[in-house]
Amino acid sequence: MENKEKFLYGASVQGIQSFIFQTNKLKEIAGASELVEEICTSKFAQEVYSSPKITYEKAKETLRGDKNAITFAAGNIKYIFESEADCQKVVLNFPKVISEFAPGITISQAVVKFKDDDFANAVNELENRLRTQRNKPMRSATLGMIGILQSRQTGLPAVMKSNKGEEYYDAATRAKLFIDLEGTKDRTALNLCKKAFGDETISKDQVAFDIEKMTDKNDWIAIIHADGNGLGQIVQKIGTKDQLFKEFSQNLDIATANAAIAAYDAVKSKFEGKDIIPIRPVVLSGDDLTLICRADLALEYTKTFIEEFENGTKKELGEIIEQNNVFEFGEVRDRLTACAGIAYIKSSYPFYYGYELAEALCTYAKKDAKDNDNIREGKELPQSCLMFHKVQDSFTENYDEISKRELQPHPDISFEFGPYYLREKTNRWTINELIDKADKLKGKEGNAVKSHLRNWMSLLYYNKEMAKQKLERLKSMTSMKEFINEVTDVKEERKRKVDNKTVTHYPVYDILAIHTINTQTTKKEKAKEVEL
């Protein structure tokens, strides 16, 4: 059989998160996430198959059935062209198509010429060339001359005025809000919701386009960012086998989508009867999930997602992982795991900072999960876990600084108790343990204990001896004595080394945060209840 020369094309989308969270308007965020979802599907298929009117659904179906389409998700594209002319056409046209379709997003492209028996080297060379291209700055297509009318929201040149003339839209905002250039047809933003909810009957009227319609008893919302573990090790083992890698990529996308559907099903009873679904997926592709939701749904949603991500990757990818001996050690070697970060923020808080915090918390969870050499070297899977933080002020520095300022009353005391794990782990709580402790604060007795615990925490900041006396009196209380001992006793497993110093970590802050988020009612909502 002839070993024909082929062309491995690769594209990597840049600036996805900054593009999505460019403004604090949920409608624009929703529209941006739809644009991103279509870049690797309908827009790429449009160029490859010379089919300008191909739909999102048809594009996904066609690409899945095309043996040359290796990956087309999570902002990454790999496609094998058998014709140099066809490859050149895509390289020439695709960046222009993307810059017009989603102004503000840029892509890096690279091509490697190879033969069938040299695919492995071609993949490695392609990745090297893409990394080089990412470091080359591209001129923004959204910049304009000084003196041009600008969007009040973004400061970029305005290209369109709203019907009432009250707002001016830049090119990126127009693309997020409207399907056509005249702005006569709203972007419905349903594809990603249907994928995340597993419901093809979802209508535009049910989708949240206004953050105020997502909140319930209070103004708290959550931004969730989840990311799979072990993907790099799998790519190293099978990324050089084109059809196996294609199968893996497609099945990973299916497993992630199914995990999101299961998480949605786990919480939907909490908003049944509501006109608006208080969940807005932002990114759902590859092994990544980014989502905005009502705060009281976030913990259960995230727990179910990472649990079902494990189950789904075992079902869809277990055979590939085991047959290629991806992980050499550990009890679990037939799936991927996932870590997640949850940023609890007020609905008025900038989404971009909320997302950055959620991503930082996810990274923190991953670091904690990699607690032995086998995991750090990629020979064993880290356990699934999550980390969260409830933002209490307007400072936006990195999470380490937030932790030191808000969660460390003394150098040897900290209220940073997570991450929380899906399964039992030495010196760590499970997610279920955290939920159970927060639930115990419900009711009349719980309210009294909650007040005392807050007072004890405040005293720790100013007077450790008074805090110690307060705790001794608190432990003498007959009601909920066992609970108080559980969350305040200084045990060896609560002591961790931080910068070579022994620091005692307490779970009280996290317990109170989850309880408050799930039960707090604002004055505004209380007034509504009184009227009813």
Judged against a pLDDT cut of 70, whether residue 396 lies above it is answered with: no
Judged against a pLDDT cut of 50, whether residue 86 lies above it is answered with: yes
pLDDT for the residue 529: 47
Written out in words, the top-level CATH class of the domain with range 5-134 is alpha beta
Judged against a pLDDT cut of 60, whether residue 112 lies above it is answered with: yes
Tokens of 176: 């997020």
Report the alpha-carbon distance of residue 14 to residue 99 in Å, rounded: 12
pLDDT for the residue 421: 97
Q: How is the beta sheet containing 76-81 ordered, strand by strand?
A: 69-73, 76-81, 5-14, 106-115
Average pLDDT, the chain: 87
Judged against a pLDDT cut of 60, whether residue 211 lies above it is answered with: yes
pLDDT for the residue 524: 56
The whole-number average pLDDT for the span 453-477 is: 87
Written out in words, the top-level CATH class of the domain with range 193-407 is alpha beta
pLDDT for the residue 189: 64
Which has the higher per-residue pLDDT, 96 or 527?
A: 96
The whole-number average pLDDT for the span 425-444 is: 90
Q: Three-state SS string across 218-264, please?
A: CCEEEEEEEEEECHHHHHHHHCCCHHHHHHHHHHHHHHHHHHHHHHH
What 8-state DSSP symbol labels residue 206? G
pLDDT for the residue 146: 65
Alpha helices (runs of H) in 268-413, residue ranges in sequence order: 295-323, 351-369, 373-376, 399-407
pLDDT for the residue 530: 40
Q: Are strands 413-414 and 501-505 parallel, antiparallel or unpaired?
A: parallel
pLDDT for the residue 531: 44
Which has the higher per-residue pLDDT, 485 or 198?
A: 198
The whole-number average pLDDT for the span 421-431 is: 92
- Give 233's pLDDT tier (boundaries 50, 70, 90): confident
pLDDT for the residue 527: 47
How far from chain centre, in Å, is Cα 9?
28
pTM: 0.91
Most confident region among 80-89, 162-171, 213-222, 393-402 by mean pLDDT: 80-89
Across 136-140, 299-303, 407-411, 510-514, least confident range: 136-140
- pLDDT tens track for 339-362: 999 999 998 888 989 999 999 999
pLDDT for the residue 373: 85
Judged against a pLDDT cut of 60, whether residue 471 lies above it is answered with: yes
Q: Three-state SS string across 405-440, please?
A: HHHCCECCEECCCCCEECCCECCECEHHHHHHHHHC
Judged against a pLDDT cut of 70, whether residue 501 lies above it is answered with: yes
Judged against a pLDDT cut of 70, whether residue 52 lies above it is answered with: yes
- pLDDT tens track for 358-386: 999 999 999 999 988 888 888 899 999 99
Report the alpha-carbon distance of residue 21 to residue 32 in Å, rounded: 8
CB 459 within 8 A of CB 467: yes
Question: Rg for the chain (alpha carbons), in Å?
Answer: 25
pLDDT for the residue 515: 94
The residue ranges of every structural domain in the chain are: 5-134, 193-407, 443-531
Domains 5-134 and 193-407 in one fold: yes
Q: How is the beta sheet containing 413-414 ordered, strand by strand?
A: 413-414, 501-505, 495-498
CB 294 within 8 A of CB 221: yes
- Sequence-ordered list of residues with C-beta below 8 angstroms from that of 309, at least 6 positions apart, any chain: 226, 228, 255, 256, 259, 287, 336, 337, 338, 384
Which has the higher per-residue pLDDT, 73 or 141?
A: 73
pLDDT over 70 for what percent of the chain? 91
CB 46 within 8 A of CB 97: yes
Report the alpha-carbon distance of residue 212 to residue 209 in Å, rounded: 9
Across 225-229, 310-314, 483-487, 526-530, least confident range: 526-530
Judged against a pLDDT cut of 90, whether residue 17 lies above it is answered with: no
Instruction: Return the closest-CA partner of residue 231 out of 109, 340, 313, 156.
Output: 313
The whole-number average pLDDT for the span 434-457 is: 88
End-to-end Cα separation, the chain, in angstroms: 78
